[in-house]
Amino acid sequence: MSNVTGKTHPQLAAIFNQDEPRVDWHDETLWWVRQKRDIQAHKLPEWELLRETASQIKNNVLSNLSTYLEQFEANAINNGVIVHWAADAEEHNKIVHQLLQERGINRMVKSKSMLTEECHLNEYLKEQGIDVIDSDLGERIVQLANEPPSHIVLPCIHKKKEEIGDIFHEHLGSAKGESDPKILTETARQHLREVFLTRRAALTGVNFAIAETGEFVICTNEGNADMGAHLAEIHIASMGIEKIIPERKHLGVFLRLLTRSATGQPITTYSSHFKRPQQGTAIHIIIVDNGRSIQLGREDFRNSLKCIRCGACMNTCPVYRKSGGHSYHTAVAGPIGSILAPNLDMKKYADLPFASTLCGSCSNVCPVKIDIHNQLYKWRQVIVKEGYSPTAKTIAMKAMAFTLSSPGLYRSGGKMGRIVFKYAPFAVNNGLNPWYKHREMPKTPEESFGEWYSKRKEAKQ
């Protein structure tokens, strides 16, 4: 999703916060998922070992990425799969379009893929006259609402069932005012069934690609990836280069971590392996870089490529929970998205690494142990150095650094500050002070600790 509004995270978050009951509801919903994750994690005494193992496997992958990718490609080709490489989003989208064009297909069913969100595939295909229907229920809802997903695992977590009822009434002909989840689900099921039966092409994402066997694994709770892929004559799978794992035996580690971290389930309902095409059908894999190799080359940020897209960092992030996924104005929201997005466009996403209190909860829930909050801190340094920080902030910071580097200036400045606070509170307690908008300023003491200490010292002597 592009930032069509041109607004920054603080601005979009402030808009989201105008409706406080809605913020509470959003926060509670995601916290509930975080709690489910905690319950599942605490059921496994070996949880921290699993995280460490996954992290080490991914370290190996990132250090030998080209080797594993070539091994995967060779094995996939052996299995009868056709492999394509795409340097960026544009190339990826063109390959998809070409594959459809070759077969004269103008309608496609898609299962969830954050990579295609990142590549803006749907918009691109729409411009080419291709009709794309997302088959993941949450994705379908936001697609009908003409919105991007607000969460990578729970794409329409920001919508209430009544709103979904209105969308289904408008687009799928359900009864006006109907908000019973069972009835709405059945409406979507009937609609999607027709889609699965009639679409000749299906596109899916890839959760894990196994170098050793050339197979790939897709995890869904709705079975929609399977439904699309099994019934279509061509299955296109889009995968980022970082989705590789070396051997099949490693899969167990990741499958145990993924859904526990994502939704608090022990395992996904469907973890489907795709290895070779059925007779009369074709499987195409598009292996996409789109900035990933640049990130791999950034020493401080390469670990972000370990991400298995579980969304746990979003559910636990107090800022995400209280600002909503759309405030991040990027395909992958939340803490991990705030590390990935500046790699793609530092200027456009310069605000995102600052959308955090650096509380560190994200790093703790991450199933592959990405040091997310440390990377956010490091991005801030890079963004400032590259000149993407507001000038006023730079001036303020320079003045602050100058004052705090001198004990004399600091002491007189502190004293001055306290006098202003005491005798001219209007100078700080006004609408231009963003602290004062919601909070009282600290009360000012008669003397600083330093002053008190000097007096005590004198009295003692």
Q: How far, in Å, CA of 67 to CA of 19, rounded?
A: 51
Query: Please, which residue, 164 or 319, has the CB nearer to other proteins?
Result: 319
Token pair of 229 as six digits:
């892929």
Query: Please, which residue, 151 or 191, has the CB nearer to other proteins?
Result: 151
Reduced to 3 states (helix: H, G, I; strand: E, B; else coil), residue 202 is strand
Look up residue 416 and give its amino acid.
M
- Residue list 13-52, contact with other proteins (CB under 8 A): 13-14, 16-17, 20, 23-24, 27, 31, 38, 41-42, 44-45, 47-48
Query: Could you give the string, one character per residue 421-450, with x where binding to other proteins holds by CB under 8 A and - elsewhere?
Result: ------------xxx-xxxxxxxxx-xxxx
98 near other proteins, rule: CB under 8 A: no
Among 355, 368, 370, 372, binds other proteins (CB under 8 A): 355
- Residue list 151-210, contact with other proteins (CB under 8 A): none
Reduced to 3 states (helix: H, G, I; strand: E, B; else coil), residue 311 is coil
Name the region of 239 (left: φ>0; alpha: ψ -120 to 50; beta: rest).
beta
Give the closest residue to 25 by CA, choosing from 275, 432, 322: 322
Among 114, 361, 370, 371, binds other proteins (CB under 8 A): 361
Structural contact between residues 119 and 142, judged by C-beta atoms closer than 8 angstroms: no
Query: Please, which residue, 41 or 209, has the CB nearer to other proteins?
Result: 41
Q: How far, in Å, CA of 293 to CA of 412, rounded?
A: 51
Q: Which stretch binds other proteins (CB under 8 A): 59-67, 161-169, 245-253, 348-356?
A: 348-356
Minimum CB separation of residue 459 from other proteins in Å reads 14
Minimum CB separation of residue 380 from other proteins in Å reads 3
Minimum CB separation of residue 322 from other proteins in Å reads 5
Among 55, 59, 418, 420, binds other proteins (CB under 8 A): 418
Q: Which long-range contacts (CB under 8 A, 24 or more apart) does 15-22 make?
A: 16/322, 16/323, 16/324, 16/326, 16/327, 17/322, 17/323
365 near other proteins, rule: CB under 8 A: yes
- The secondary structure of residue 198, as a DSSP letter, is H
- Residue list 387-416, contact with other proteins (CB under 8 A): 389, 393-394, 397-398, 400-402, 404-407, 410, 414
Minimum CB separation of residue 218 from other proteins in Å reads 28
Number of chain positions touching other proteins (CB under 8 A): 75
381 near other proteins, rule: CB under 8 A: yes
Minimum CB separation of residue 352 from other proteins in Å reads 11
The 244-245 sheet, strands edge to edge: 244-245, 208-210, 215-220, 270-274
Q: C-alpha distances in angstroms, 223 versus 101, 106, 111, 196, 395?
A: 27, 23, 9, 11, 55
Give the closest residue to 197 by CA, choosing from 236, 228, 237: 228
In SS3 terms, 386-449 reads as CCCCCHHHHHHHHHHHHHHCCHHHHHHHHHHHHHHHHHCHHHCCCCCCCCCCCCCCCCCCCCCH
- Residue list 257-316, contact with other proteins (CB under 8 A): 316
Minimum CB separation of residue 250 from other proteins in Å reads 21
- Residue list 201-220, contact with other proteins (CB under 8 A): none
Q: Which stretch binds other proteins (CB under 8 A): 132-140, 210-218, 224-232, 386-394?
A: 386-394
Among 319, 341, 352, 370, binds other proteins (CB under 8 A): 319
- Residue list 110-129, contact with other proteins (CB under 8 A): none
Token pair of 6 as six digits:
């041109």
Minimum CB separation of residue 48 from other proteins in Å reads 6
Structural contact between residues 1 and 116, judged by C-beta atoms closer than 8 angstroms: no
Token pair of 333 as six digits:
């929201």
Minimum CB separation of residue 390 from other proteins in Å reads 10
Query: Please, which residue, 26 or 284, has the CB nearer to other proteins?
Result: 26
Minimum CB separation of residue 451 from other proteins in Å reads 8
Query: Please, which residue, 59 or 389, has the CB nearer to other proteins?
Result: 389
Pair type for strands 215-220 and 208-210: antiparallel
Among 183, 282, 360, 428, binds other proteins (CB under 8 A): 360
Name the region of 373 (left: φ>0; alpha: ψ -120 to 50; beta: rest).
alpha
